[in-house]
Amino acid sequence: MLEQLPALQVAITLTAAPVVMMLGRASRLAWVLTTLSCWASFAVALLLFNQVADGSVISYEMGGWAPPWGIEYSIDAANAWVLVIIGLISALVMPFARRSVEQEISESRIALFYSAFLLANAGLIGITLTADAFNIFVFFEISALASYALIAMGQDRRAVLSAYQYLIMGTVGTTFLLIGIGFLYIMTGTLNLGDLAARLPEVSDTRTIRAAFGFIAVGISLKLALFPLHLWLPNAYTYAPSMVTVFLSATATKVAIYVLLRFVYGVFGFEFSFVELSMAWLLMPLALLGIVVPSLVAVFQTNVKRLLAYSSVAQVGYMILGISFASVLGLTASILHLFNHAITKAALFMAVGCLVYRLGGVSLTQLAGAGQRMPWTMGAFVVAGLSLIGIPLTAGFVTKWHLLQAALEGGLWPIAVLLLGTSLLAALYIWKVVEAAYFQEPEDSTEVVHEAPLGLLLPTLLLTASTVVFGVFGSFTVQSARTAAAALMGGVP
């Protein structure tokens, strides 16, 4: 049983999806089944994480065909870490989803909605697990197709348009990835990541391989919303249903960053990517622009969901910045931020989901008075907001601290100063929300607004609490991120 875990990890949600779809109008049953499969998937992720936490590697041969001919699933500390993120977020978002989805999606579509959610989940898990380049492309498309459907189910008509724009840009991204994989296959005759890593050094000094690197890097950068390829993200996150925004913001871009790391470190290798092609000089300016510009844009937003979406683009910038330091410490900071930002942003978007549930929308004017009317929700928003800014004793601080250390280690003190400055920008846009919610009188003060129902509030508070827990007791996450960084730096699993 235990040796079949890698297959189970993706099979649970993938097989649950069609079953849930066939439930039709039994929407409550669909929710129960989806929740159970997400929890089971999270349990499997934890078991896998536990097995590789010491730095060992699990290699699973799909269907018993030995790699490089068969498809291999391989799990090391790096992708087990990402699996835990996906598992945790999907396990927590499901209790939140029940009432939020009942309100936002029409009854007859709820089963279909959960089915698409399960497919998106399975796709992301598949991308993370597989050690086969073409498999990565296919799973990317599975998760992407399901995400387009999920986003299009938003209530605003602009949801459909943003889903369409995401489809166009996402497809261009994955097709670029496919072209890159084709170039790699021409030169090496293999698709297995480990096998590729072994065969590439021989042919790496060719234009084909350099072109492959370019196509793959640009294609994945589109998927992970690296500035200035982020244009699909703000609209998609703003108009998607609350639960979809929580899930996608916490997992989709993180998984794409993991794939970038896997290709850059695991397949092409540190030497080729950073020494021969000086990738750092490309990533660093984009990361810095990606932190500063979207943060500035976020300050001027009046819709809180859109504000947080721009902040997500900025946070991707932090993760890419860590990679661009080309050091173990920088990579550790990036991997750490995958987790810390996932829980922080999920908590924030859940709080926003609670506000949407009670207030019907989250423009700054609608938020007036929410601080008194929904104290728990706004309290969660403030605490998670502090983590986003990077205040000590929150998860966000642990990453910022490591990023600062990595910057100083590389002698890049101007970047360290800039990091402190951008934290102020984050403080500025979080403050805007706080000011609207606590210090402005609602237009209609006789209107009675209750605190969000417990089903929505509990997961929100749980995630918010976890941002504090992982901020105070950061040593566990730091240790796991170090092991993951070592696994990536050491080559392919």
Provide the binding-site residues for other proteins, judged by CB under 8 A.
134, 137-138, 141, 145, 148-149, 152, 157-158, 160-161, 163-164, 167-168, 171-172, 175, 178-179, 182, 185-186
Which ranges in 53-132 belong to alpha helices (H)? 77-104, 110-129
CB of 142 to other proteins, least distance (A): 8
CB of 207 to other proteins, least distance (A): 13
The CA-to-CA distance between both ends of the chain, in Å, stands at: 22
Distances (CA, A) of 193 to 56, 139, 208, 218, 268: 17, 15, 17, 19, 10
Is residue 74 helix, strand or coil? Answer: strand
CB of 219 to other proteins, least distance (A): 11
How far is 164 from 166, CA to CA, in rounded Å?
5
**Nearest to other proteins of 45, 167 (CB atom):** 167
**Nearest to other proteins of 214, 453 (CB atom):** 214
Is residue 184 helix, strand or coil? Answer: helix
CB of 474 to other proteins, least distance (A): 41
How far is 76 from 56, CA to CA, in rounded Å?
6
**Nearest to other proteins of 77, 236 (CB atom):** 236
Residue with tokens 């349990």: 43
**Nearest to other proteins of 173, 194 (CB atom):** 173
Neighbours of 2 (CB within 10 A): 9
**Nearest to other proteins of 157, 207 (CB atom):** 157
456 with 352: CB under 8 angstroms?
A: no
CB of 475 to other proteins, least distance (A): 43
CB of 210 to other proteins, least distance (A): 16
CB of 144 to other proteins, least distance (A): 8
Distances (CA, A) of 301 to 347, 419, 445: 20, 21, 25
CB of 233 to other proteins, least distance (A): 17
**Nearest to other proteins of 121, 344 (CB atom):** 121
**Nearest to other proteins of 139, 349 (CB atom):** 139
Of the candidates 476, 286, 463, 325, the one whose C-alpha atom is nearest the C-alpha of residue 388 is 463
**Nearest to other proteins of 4, 108 (CB atom):** 108
CB of 179 to other proteins, least distance (A): 6
Which ranges in 153-241 belong to alpha helices (H)? 158-188, 193-203, 207-223, 232-239
Non-local (6+) Cβ contacts of 185 within 8 A are 133, 191
CB of 184 to other proteins, least distance (A): 11
Of the candidates 191, 160, 197, 159, the one whose C-alpha atom is nearest the C-alpha of residue 178 is 191
Tokens of 8: 């189970």
Non-local (6+) Cβ contacts of 333 within 8 A are 322, 325, 399, 402, 403, 405, 406, 481
227 with 118: CB under 8 angstroms?
A: no
347 with 464: CB under 8 angstroms?
A: yes
**Nearest to other proteins of 302, 372 (CB atom):** 302
**Nearest to other proteins of 164, 270 (CB atom):** 164
CB of 189 to other proteins, least distance (A): 8
How far is 344 from 395, CA to CA, in rounded Å?
8
**Nearest to other proteins of 137, 381 (CB atom):** 137
